[in-house]
Amino acid sequence: MGINRVLAVLSVTVLASCGQSSQETGNNTPTTLSPWHSLTETEINEAAAAVNDAFGEGILFNRISLTEPDKNKARAWQAGDTATRGADIVYRLNKASYIARYDFDTASLSAPSEITSGQPMLVGEELFGALDVVNQLPEVVAALERRGITGSDGLCLPRTVGRFFADLANPVNDRLVRFDCFNIRGQSGLGLLPTTSAWARPVEGLSVLFDVEELKLIEITDSFADAETPPNDFEVIEFHESALDTRPALKPITIEQREGRNFDITGSQINWQDWQFHLRFDPRQGTILNNIGVVSDDGFRPVAYEIAMSEMFVPYQDPDTHWFYRAYFDMGEYGFGNMATELKGNDCPPTAIYQDVVLHTASGEAFTAENRICIFEFDPGYPSWRHHESLYDDIPGMVKHNSRRATHLVVRMVAVIGNYDYFQDYIFQQDGRIRIRLISTGIDATKGVFSASLDDPRAASETQTGTLIAPYRVGVNHDHFFSYRIDMDVDGVANNFVRQRLVAAEQPDGAPRQGIWTVQQEQVLTEQQAQTVMKVEKPALLTFASTTAENAMGYPTSYQLIFPNTRPLVTLDDAIYQRAGFLKNNLWVTRYKPSEIFSTGLAVNQSDVGVGLPQYAADDEAIENTDLVAWPMIGFHHVPMAEDWPVMPSKVDEITLKPRNFFNRNPALDVPE
Ligand SMILES: [Cu+2]
C-alpha cells in the first residue's frame, strides 16, 4: 500500500530540508571520550561488525548501547584520560534473543548469553516492514472495503501485545504485534495528503495479530464482519495552522541571549553555574545524565551518579476484544531513544542549541539523527528568592527590597510513541534543585462508537470505559506510569536512605495545644524495609544522606526526593499488572548493581511476570552506608475529556531532587541582582 511509502519518503524529505544542523551545537570537541559519552558511529559499527563476524549474517540488532561503565573507574576519570568503553549488543538470531558485550580496548566480543525471559525492543524495521505487509493483506483490504475504506485511505498500525495470545502463538519466541486500523482520508484543502491526525478516525472492531519476524498473519478478528460498523468517515478537526481559524497573534515576547549562553559543553560534559554533569543518549532510555554534582570551593561534590527514566507503562482499562491487551511498556517495548523525533518549531526556545544523536539500524549500521536534544537556559518568570522588608519602608537610604532573578538550565528530548508525545526534561536550578519533568501531549487513543452524543441511547453502554470526547469516539480510560532510576551519590558513594514520617503527636492533658505534628524517623535498613508506599495521612520526607559529610550545623549532607503520589488502582495480580511489579511502591531503594538498570527487566517485550524491581529487592540486602539506587514512580490516571481533543494540552509530571542540609545556606544567595 503506497501510503506508507509516501509517509516514509515525506518524513525523510522533511528531515533533510528542515534540519537545524547548521545551528551552533555548542560542543568543544575533546581529545578523548569520557566513560559516559554516547557510543559513536565508529564504535557502533565496530561492535556490530564483531557480532556479524562471529555469528554470520541474518542478525537483527535490537539495541546497541554503551556498557554501563565500571563505576569506580569512571568516577576516577579525569578529562584527557582514556576511558574504558564497551557496548552491549542485544540481537535476534534464528528466533532467539541474545546479549553480548564488546570491549573496545581489546576489540573482543564476549560469549553471548541467550535471553530466555521476555524479548528485546521492537525496532523500526520490524514494525514498518510488517506494516507494509499487513496493509496489503487481502483479508485486511476486504475488511476495510466492507467499511467503505479503499486504497490508501486505510492505515493499520502495530501495537505491542503483552503476553497474550498463547493459544495462537508462542509468546516466548514469536515476535507478535496486533494491528488496528484507521481511516486517514484527507479532507478538502489537503489535496492528496492524508488527514493531519492519523489517529482521528478509528476503524473499530478490526484487529490483526501478526508475527513481525516471520511476516506471518496469525489471526484477523472482525467483530463487525456481518453487522453495521461504527462510522469511520466523518469530518475531523485538522490541527495544522492553515486549517484553523486562529485567534489574533499576541504581540511577541522576545527571548534572546544577545551576549551568548552561560553553559559550556565539552564532549559529554556540561557545566552551568555550579552544576557539572555528563549527558548521553541511549536507544532505549533516551537522555541519560551521569556524574551529576556541584563544583564548589572544596572541589566536585557528587549528588547522583546516574539519572534516567527506567520504564513507562500505559495500561488501558477496557476488557473489549480489541482493547484488553493494550498496555504499553513504551520504553522497553519500543525504545524512547529510537522514537525520539527532531526538535523544531516551538519545541524549544529560540536560544536553544541542538544536538544530534547516533542511533543504529536493524542491520547494525550507525546513523546520525539530527536535533534530537535541545539545551537552553530559561527564565521561569518567578524569582529565585525575594524579601521586601516593610518594617523599614520609612527609613531612607536602606535597601528594603531584595529579589533575585531565577535562571534554569533545561536538557530536553521528545519521544513520539504512536499517538502520544512525551517530553523528557532535566532542569537544573541555581538553588541546588534538579527537576525531572515528563510532559505528556499528543493524541488520545480513541475507540470508535455509534454515538455522536450522550443523547444516543447506545451512549450509556459505550461510555462505560471512557468519555465521548468527540462524536463517534470514546477516549478510553488509562494510566500513565513513569518509573525512574536515580543512582544517588550524595557527597560520595556511601549513602543512607532516611525515611521520616510527619505524624501527629498528642499533647498531655492541660497542655496549651491538643496536637502538633512532629518528624519521626523510621528504621530503614534493608531493601524490603525501604519499599515506600505514600500515605496522605502520614507524609514522608525521603532523603539520601551522606555517611561521611556534614554541613556546618552537623547534619549529614542530604538530598530529598519529592514527587506526587499515585497508586495503581488495579490489582497487581492482573495479567498485565503482574508484568509491572514496580507499581507496588511509590519508591524502591536497592543496593547499586550495574546489571539492575531497568525496573521491568532487561527484555520487556512479551515479558514474563514478576521481572525487574521485585527481583532486585527479593534478596533484601542491607542498604546501610552503601551505594544506593532510588526508583521513584510517578504518573496519573487519565480519564479523557473533550479538551483532550483533537490534540491534548501538555500535562506535566515531576520529580524534584532538593538539597536538604547539603549546603550551609541558600545556595542561590550569591546570584547577583
Ligand atoms: Cu493519557
Average pLDDT for 71-100: 96
Q: Ligand 1 centre and the CA of 93: distance in Å?
A: 36
Q: Within 13 Å, how many C-alpha atoms sit on residue 42's CB side? A: 5
In angstroms, the Cα distances linking 119 to 67, 214, 564, 604, 608 are: 19, 15, 32, 6, 10
Q: What values do phi and psi take at 37, rounded to 5?
A: -65, 140
Residue 103 CB partners (closer than 8 Å, separation 6+): 84, 86, 109, 110
Note the pTM of the prediction, 2 decimals: 0.95
Q: What is the mean pLDDT of the chain?
A: 94
**What is the rounded CA–CA span in Å between residue 343 and residue 148?**
37
How many H-runs (helices) and E-runs (strands) does the chain carry?
8, 34
On the question of pLDDT at 247 being above 90, the answer is yes
Q: Ligand 1 centre and the CA of 159: distance in Å?
A: 16
Between CA 143 and CA 145, with CA 144 as vertex, the angle to 5 degrees is: 90
**What is the rounded CA–CA span in Å between residue 48 and residue 52?**
6
Pairing of strands 263-266, 27-28: parallel
- 536 or 302: whose pLDDT is higher? 302
Q: What is the pLDDT of residues 420-478, one digit of tens each?
A: 999 999 999 999 999 999 999 999 999 999 999 999 999 999 999 999 999 999 999 99
Q: What is the pLDDT of residues 140-181, one digit of tens each?
A: 999 999 999 999 999 999 999 999 999 999 988 999 999 999
The pLDDT-based confidence of 190 (bands split at 50, 70, 90) is low
Q: Ligand 1 centre and the CA of 46: distance in Å?
A: 40
Q: Ligand 1 centre and the CA of 461: distance in Å?
A: 21
Q: What b/e string do you get for 137-175 counting C-beta neighbours within 10 Å, with b at 16 or more? A: beebbebbeebebeebbbbbbbbbbbbbbeeebebbebb
Q: Ligand 1 centre and the CA of 283: distance in Å?
A: 23
Q: Which residues pair with 16 in a beta bridge?
A: none
Q: Ligand 1 centre and the CA of 657: distance in Å?
A: 26
Residue 171 CB partners (closer than 8 Å, separation 6+): 161, 163, 164, 165, 606
Q: Please report the pLDDT score of residue 29 as a whole number.
A: 76
Kind and range of the H or E run holding 629: strand 628-638
Q: What is the pLDDT of residues 10-49, one digit of tens each?
A: 333 333 333 344 345 666 777 799 999 999 999 999 999 9
Q: Ligand 1 centre and the CA of 634: distance in Å?
A: 14
Cell 486505510 belongs to: 154
Q: Within 13 Å, how many C-alpha atoms sit on residue 316's CB side? A: 25
**What is the rounded CA–CA span in Å between residue 448 and residue 158?**
17
Q: Ligand 1 centre and the CA of 469: distance in Å?
A: 13
Q: Ligand 1 centre and the CA of 441: distance in Å?
A: 8
- Least Cα distance to 621 among 647, 590, 599 occurs for 590
Q: Ligand 1 centre and the CA of 343: distance in Å?
A: 22
Kind and range of the H or E run holding 372: strand 366-378
Q: Ligand 1 centre and the CA of 323: distance in Å?
A: 15
Q: Ligand 1 centre and the CA of 330: distance in Å?
A: 13
Tell me which amino acid residue 629 is. Answer: V
Q: Ligand 1 centre and the CA of 652: distance in Å?
A: 12
The residue ranges of DSSP E strands in 515-575, in sequence order, are 515-522, 540-550, 556-562
Q: Ligand 1 centre and the CA of 232: distance in Å?
A: 22
The residue ranges of DSSP E strands in 405-514, in sequence order, are 408-417, 420-429, 434-442, 446-448, 466-470, 473-476, 478-488, 495-506
Q: Ligand 1 centre and the CA of 420: distance in Å?
A: 8
Q: Ligand 1 centre and the CA of 331: distance in Å?
A: 16
Q: What is the pLDDT of residues 326-361, one digit of tens each?
A: 999 999 999 999 999 999 999 999 999 999 999 999
